[in-house]
Structure 1
Amino acid sequence: MSASRATAPAPARPVVGGRGPGGGPFGGMAGPPQKPMDFGPSAKRLIGRLRPERAGVVLVIALAVVSVALNAIGPRILGHGTDLVFAGVVGRQLPEGASKEQAVEQLRADGQDTFADMVSAMDVTPGQGIDFVDLRWVLLGVLALYVGASMFMWIQAYLLNTIVQRTVFRLRAEVEEKIHRLPLRYFDTNSRGDVLSRVTNDIDNVSQSLQQTMSQLLTSLLTVLGVLAMMIWISPLLALIALVTVPLSMVVTAVIAKRSQKLFVAQWAHTGALNGQIEEAYTGHTLVRVFGRQREVEEAFGGKNEELYKASFGAQFVSGIIMPAMFFLGNLNYVAIAVVGGLRVASGSMSLGEVQAFVQYTRQFTQPLTQLASMANLLQSGVASAERVFQLLDEPEQVPEASTPPALGPQPRGRVAFEHVSFSYDQDLPLIEDLSLVAEPGRTVAIVGPTGAGKTTLVNLIMRFYELDAGRITIDGVDIADLRRDDLRSSIGMVLQDTWLFGGTIRDNIAYGDPGASEERIRAAAEATYVDRFVHSLPDGYDTVIDEEGDNISAGEKQLLTIARAFLADPSILILDEATSSVDTRTEVLVQQAMAALRSDRTSFVIAHRLSTIRDADLILVMQNGAIVEQGSHVELLERRGAYFELYNSQFALPAVDSE
């Protein structure tokens, strides 16, 4: 098995021993954050991710300005068209041949002072109807403005989509790189489902939020500014009335958004927790059925699902109040402007076209405010997800590589030395203290001891999955802390108790140990590890496709495949961690023979609970509570009648029977 892919679980809570409690079908779920999201800095940091696209952002803003400007001019010109129509209608009612002044004097003489005031403010010719030539040019001009605005808006949306997708692409790549730089301790203490939720769901939500809010946010803000300028130009008084709703809208939005903010944080935290539970329950579905725990799993799922439902419903309901509230305030504003505008038209202070344009601007003014308010839920949801992604990116990384790392050479000998090594998962609970040992090249070192003694931890330290608290480990005299991790692990092969296969053919899974291996080398590795025997019984041979769980082959066959993979990698150091614990006796014989071939001329560390499988080891280490209490050959340790003697006899002694 490729060393870089090998993993070994460690405790979410430090315990004495090498292997912590795994994420079973009922554990490892991450709860929601205790503190509310810090919206401002997180939003600022999210916008900062657009910095590499500065040129594109500037072009998007310029296009948006042009588009909004064209849209803002449109109602003013349409107002002029309304004035042309209204002037034509009124002009037909006035005596032909008279001047406008004469017509106004006649209206006043007839007691129609209000109508006279209105006519005096109009550009009207008595007796003349609608000027359809001017009206045609007005309508064509407005059509050209709106077509141009739509074209600029389409180009802006296309560019913005490109910018957002490239930004999210970089974010995904950065998260992927971060995952590989995180220490194993991070994955020990965080639910896999929650980590996957941050990498997939949260990044997708960030992408969707940026896509939907950025364009609308930019257009809405520019529309508010452009429309406000046109409103002030037409009538400062009516503009002042329209502006009264702005601070009121901001207060309403702020109050509602503050209440929904915590709910959105909880929503995505509960999503991660639920994903973690589903992933763990699915992975352990066989155990769930064996122990009859379906009801407990369903109840646990129902509880988490209920929490997610409440948080999601609360967030959407509270933030959804914003839109109706904004519509209500907008309608109040519309009524006030309609009444005041009508009075000013009647008094001759404004033309009908100006009031009509102003009413359109009022709608254009309140609509982006309403849209901005309605985007609050999307924006908060996206920033909440972004914060969860940033939390992952801000996690402490593993110790950086040395700037000029030494190399082991093309053919490492495989001499491994522990020199006064100390390590603990928790500083308050020391595990390994002042441990020293030497594994000479080509020798097989077996590590035995009770559960929790620190056996797996020992080999994990060789792989540098964890950093030492004190001392050092050397390979061929080179401190592994000075080596590049890839160089170190490329010289080590690892076969674990839990086999890992990926969706692909048997050939692909074997070749994972050396992607550049020829067909002859793959076949040779398969024959040496007894894989070739069962492959020929499969309908497609080496082209047989294995699913991700490897359910279409047996546990022993999966284990043989992982050994063949390690054999192909040809490592100088080999680690076998309980490689035969899950196979039957007959398959174990094959696995033992395969491992014997694999161990040939290699320094090997073998962790085993079945002591009968390590009798021929050159050196046996007996560990208890993180310390080596005995070491020697199988015969030597039996003669000492110490800890190994007790372990060995306990496996072959008859079960004790209590008697009263």
Structure 2
Amino acid sequence: MDKVKNNKKINDKKETLRKVFLYIKPYWIYVILSVLFAAITVPMSLYVLFLMGRAVDCIIGIGKVDFIGLKSIIVLMIVLGALIGIMQWAMNVCNNKIVYNVIRDIRKDAFEKIQTLPLKYIDKNSYGEIVSKVIADVDQFADGLLMGFTQLFTSIITIFGTLIFMFYESVPISLVVVCLTPISLFVASFIAKRTYSMFKSQSETRGEQTAFIDEMIGNQKVVQAFGHEKEAVDTFDEINNRLEKSSLNATFFSSITNPATRFVNGLVYAGVGIAGALSVINGSLTVGTLTCFLNYANQYTKPFNEISGVVTELQNALACAKRVFELIEEPPDSPDLENAKELTNVKGEIDLKDVEFSYNLEKKFIENLNLQVKQGQKIALVGPTGCGKTTIINLLMRFYDVNDGDIEIDNNNIKEITRKSLRTNYGMVLQETWLKSGTVRENISMGKPNATEEEIISAAKAARVHNFIRRMPKGYDTVITENGEGLSQGQKQLLCIARVMLCLPPMLILDEATSSIDTRTEIKIQEAFMTMMKGRTSFIIAHRLSTIRDADIILVMKDGHIIEQGNHDKLLENRGFYYELYNSQFVGKVL
């Protein structure tokens, strides 16, 4: 069992690496330049160490210093040092270009995928978790990738270059270094294999924490209103403690790598020092050559420290990259058919035939739903919470596809229509408002960017929001934030209503559209809605049944089924479920 798990982890890492290389591939020119600069810089650095040994040999003793030779060596070392600095700067530029271009592409793909994900994915995963993948995990991946490109190429070339210089100077001492090297490799490999799963756990817990914080901040009023602060803090502490443990484990094991490899490096340095000293005593090496060897021993073992550090960071980076790639590879919403039609000249005749739908296939929800809506009819959906009112809206807009049955608009199956043209012909005003960062004008004209100033003002007047806008600092050019900070809930909802008033599509969906508006304004808005709904097919969801009295058809829903339908007066006469719902509004009220 453990062997199967280990093989799966190895395959996961290989697959993640393959995907990373696919993102790097378009920037191969920078990779080649980076390797080229490393290939030039490292030999030059090693040659500087070689020159240092020759400089030591120029200082033979008191009164026996070769100043001419020493001077030429020092000048050459200064020139080489300057060239090395320029080359390293150029290499770092290339590495940064690779990393941040790759990160840009990954974030772009992740955000584009979010736009095409089916709604069920957004519903099942917390916003904070998704945000954590796109922001925090990608940042962690960038850090590991940058360290990899900055140090990996240089370290590998340094190892091989140092060996060449050492074998050139002395084969026996070089063999001492080579024989002790596998110990360092074994230590780094042993630790790296155990850190991947720890960093993966750390990344997942961090995402969970981000999701929880996002939820608490977004619903702070609810938390405080229900005195849920202590429970929220306790839950956060529990997640935070798990993050602490997973982070400590990952950091502890990864931090062992450096001291362990340094210990091995100390052994290598000691071995070179002892073997070199004996060679100097025997006269087979000069003091300058021994100095070279000691420097090379340091230079040779240093990359192993760097590689072990890079490997540890790459474990973290790959764990984060895997989570991001999971998001990018989520199956998108089913695409439009190749021959999908554009919905034009819409009358608004809607037909639901034997529709079946469930969010969870194991639990049936909507079954055998049949409904015929004629052009211009006002259809009201009423019923207790969770009865399926909003689900029908989701199906009409094709946010979800039906499991069975058909939905037709003007005798066109909506599965054979492009989603864009379908949704363009609907106007939606929801209980939950949405505003984007921008001017009031941009928010109102979102569905009709080419609208004239007169059209925008006319829509604002119809929505009873024109006077309020005029009182704002810059009128229609006033910039508002994404959540409309500084605006009341009612004002935000009026702006959303103005947005629909401007587009005037052939079909309307009003889901508690006036829930946050005062009674006086609501009466005026209802009048505007009546004007707007004339000749347009409209679906209205309302909990206040008094607002849907004039609907042509009222559909009474319960547990995903339409149990009653008719107009207001007929349903009251039947004294059924609608009668009970309607009269429950007045229980306890003094009439």
Class of the TM-score when normalised by the shorter of the 2 chains: over 0.9
> Which one-letter code corresponds to 1:74 in the other structure?
V
Alpha-carbon distance between aligned partners in 2 of 1:521 and 1:314, rounded to the nearest angstrom? 62
What residue is the counterpart of 1:388 in the other structure?
323
What letter is aligned with 1:41? E
Q: Is the aligned partner of 1:58 residue 2:32?
A: yes
What is the aligned partner in structure 1 of residue 217 from structure 2?
A: 282
Deviation at 1:653, TM superposition (A): 4.2
Greater Cα radius of gyration, structure 1 or 2: 1
CA distance in 2 between partners of 1:462 and 1:381 (Å)? 44
2:127 alignment counterpart: 192
SS at match of 2:447: coil
Amino acid at match of 2:31: V
Give the Cα separation in 2 of the matches to 1:648 and 1:496. Answer: 22
Inter-partner Cα distance in structure 2 for 1:244 and 1:593? 90
Maintained 8 Å contact 1:535/1:541? yes
Q: What is residue 59 of structure 2 aligned with on the other side?
A: 85
Under a length normalisation based on structure 2, what TM-score does the superposition of the two structures give? 0.94
Stretch moving more, 308-317 or 518-527 = 308-317
- How far, CA to CA, are the matches of 1:84 and 1:538 in structure 2? 82
Equivalence for 2:226 = 291
C-alpha distance in 1 between matches for 2:555 and 2:425: 23
Cα distance change of structure 1 residues 256 and 586 upon mapping to structure 2, 3 Å threshold: same
- Contact 1:264–1:380 (Cα < 8 Å) also in 2: yes
The one-letter code matched in structure 2 to 1:574 is L
- Is the aligned partner of 1:171 residue 2:145? no
C-alpha distance in 2 between matches for 1:252 and 1:595: 73
Q: What displacement does 1:537 show?
A: 4.2
What is the number of equivalent residue pairs in this alignment?
582
CA distance in 2, matches of 1:486, 1:246: 62
Q: CA deviation at 1:404?
A: 2.7
State the alpha-carbon separation in 1 of the partners of residues 143 and 188 from structure 2.
22
Higher relative contact order (Cα pairs below 8 Å, separated by 6+ residues): 1
Match of 1:225 among 160, 163, 175: 160
1:69 pairs with 43, 54, 58, which one?
Answer: 43
Q: 2:579 matched to which residue of 1?
A: 645
**What SS does the corresponding residue of 2:59 show, helix, strand or coil?**
helix
**Structure 2 residue aligned with 1:136:** 71
User: Gaps spanning 5+ residues in structure 1: where?
Assistant: 1-34, 93-128
2:5 matched residue in structure 1: none
User: How far has the Cα of 1:570 moved from its partner?
Assistant: 2.0
Return the match for 1:401 from 336, 360, 377. 336
Match of 1:46 in 2: 20
**Residue type of the alignment partner of 1:354:** T
Structure 1 window deviating more from structure 2 (574-583 vs 277-286): it is 574-583
1:589 aligns with 2:589: no
The equivalent of 2:370 in structure 1 is 436
Q: Residues 249 and 590 from structure 1, CA distance in 2 versus in 1: closer, same or farther, beyond 3 angstroms?
A: farther
2: CA distance, partners of 1:591 / 1:437: 28
Residue 535 of structure 1 pairs with residue 504 of structure 2: no
- In structure 1, C-alpha distance between the alignment counterparts of 2:9 and 2:39, rounded to whole Å: 36
Q: Which residue of 1 aligns with 2:200?
A: 265
Describe how 1:102-113 pairs up with structure 2 within 5 A: none
Partner secondary structure for residue 525 of structure 2:
helix
Deviation at 1:202, TM superposition (A): 1.1
Deviation, structure 1 residue 246: 2.1
- The one-letter code sitting in structure 1 at the alignment partner of 2:277 is G
Determine the C-alpha separation between the residues in 2 that align with 1:590 and 1:234.
95
What is aligned with 1:211? 146
Cα distance between partner residues in 2 of 1:517 and 1:603: 23
The residue type paired with residue 108 of structure 2 is A
1:409-424 correspondence to structure 2 within 5 Å: 409=344, 411-424=345-358
**Secondary structure at 1:450 match in 2:** coil
Three-state SS of the structure 2 residue aligned to 1:652 is coil
Residue pair 1:36, 1:265 contacting (<8 A) in 2 also: no
For 1:270 and 1:54, locate their aligned partners in 2 and report how far apart those are by CA, in whole Å.
35
Give the structure 2 partner of residue 455 of structure 1. Answer: 389
| C-alpha separation in 2, matches of 1:587 and 1:281 | 32
The corresponding residue for 2:4 is none
How far does the alpha carbon of each residue in 1:63-94 deviate from its partner, in whole angstroms, 9 at most, with x for none?
A: 211111211222223322322323xx39x6xx
Q: What residue identity is the alignment partner of 1:61?
A: V
CA distance in 1, matches of 2:440, 2:26: 43
1:148 CA drift (Å): 2.1
Pairing 1:481–2:415 present: yes
Give, as a single letter, the amino acid of the residue that structure 2 aligns with 1:478: N
The offset of 1:374, in angstroms, is 2.0
- The answer for the alignment partner of 1:445 in structure 2 is 379
Q: Which residue of 2 aligns with 1:14?
A: none
Identify, as 1 or 2, the structure richer in helix. 2
TM-superposed deviation, 1:581: 3.0
Tell me how far apart the structure 1 counterparts of residues 357 and 154 of structure 2 sit (CA, whole Å). Answer: 58
Q: Distance in 2 between matches of 1:594 and 1:196?
A: 39
* Structure-1 separation of matches of 2:531 and 2:149: 61
Cα shift at 1:563:
0.7
1:130-176 residue CA offsets vs partner (Å, 9 max, x unmatched):
33222222222233233222222221211221122111111111111
- Report the RMSD for the aligned CA atoms in angstroms: 2.0
Report the AA paired with residue 156 of structure 1: M
